[in-house]
Structure 1
Amino acid sequence: MTVLKQPVVLEGEHITFQLNGEIQQDIFLKIKPEVLSLLRRKLNNYSIHLEHVIKEEDNSGKRKLYTSTDKLQYLKEKSPALVELQKRFGLETDF
């Protein structure tokens, strides 16, 4: 189901699944014949082709959150209400 829920690009009779990695690629290659025959039969169109591409994620602008303190700081920036909760309940930052 994860592979089938990935974004799809439709160009004429070519359906291209945008996969996240090699694991999804392996799964896609296993289910491709079954999905292709089902689509061809249900749509009554035997010239449909299924393809896949592995999309690269752009992480150049994002920082990695390794420590608990980094994660908390990120969440504080995203939701300022966390700062108020931390002050109000006297929560520790080192957990």
Structure 2
Amino acid sequence: MSEPFTEEQLRAAWDEFAATRKKYQAEFQMLSQPYKLLEGKHIVVSLLSPVHETMLAAIKIDLTAFVREKLRNTSIQVSGELATSDEKKIIYTNRDKFDYLAEKNPILKEMKDRLGLDTDF
């Protein structure tokens, strides 16, 4: 049995399942991430880290069963997609600072080599 459903019905079922996981704060946070509905039956959850992949794997069967039952649609599938972030690398050490500056201005590396300087002081 595969009854059609709306985005609103899916959101209501999703939020209801998330509410059952509220005591597990990390899972609740993961379930609060946006998701995409593909082809009207495949739900793709945006995951922020590999830890979320592990958490989704642990609850995926329960989540899928819950949503299928609520929406009376057995063709619903749930999967996760690790979101890629374009965050800049944080510069902590002197080596990181030098490498960052040398990338912008390659002459710095040549000067360091000619003068025999050490960036790790």
Letter in 2 for 1:34: D
Q: Which has the higher helix share?
A: 2
Q: Who is 2:61 aligned against? A: 33
Deviation at 1:65, TM superposition (A): 7.3
Gapped regions of structure 1 (runs ≥ 5) = 67-95
How is 1:9-88 mapped onto 2 (pairs within 5 angstroms)?
A: 9-11=36-38, 12-59=40-87, 62=88, 64=90
CA displacement 1:33-52 (0-9 Å, x = unmatched)? 00100000000000000011
Gapped regions of structure 2 (runs ≥ 5) = 1-27, 93-121
Q: Who is 1:4 aligned against? A: 31
Equivalences, count = 65
Which structure: larger Rg? 2
CA displacement 1:18-66 (0-9 Å, x = unmatched)? 101111110000000001000000000000000111011012xx57376
Letter in 1 for 2:69: R
TM-score, scaled to structure 2: 0.49
Give the root-mean-square deviation of aligned CA atoms.
1.8
TM-score, scaled to structure 1: 0.62
Structure 1 outlier segments of 4+, above 3 Å: 62-66
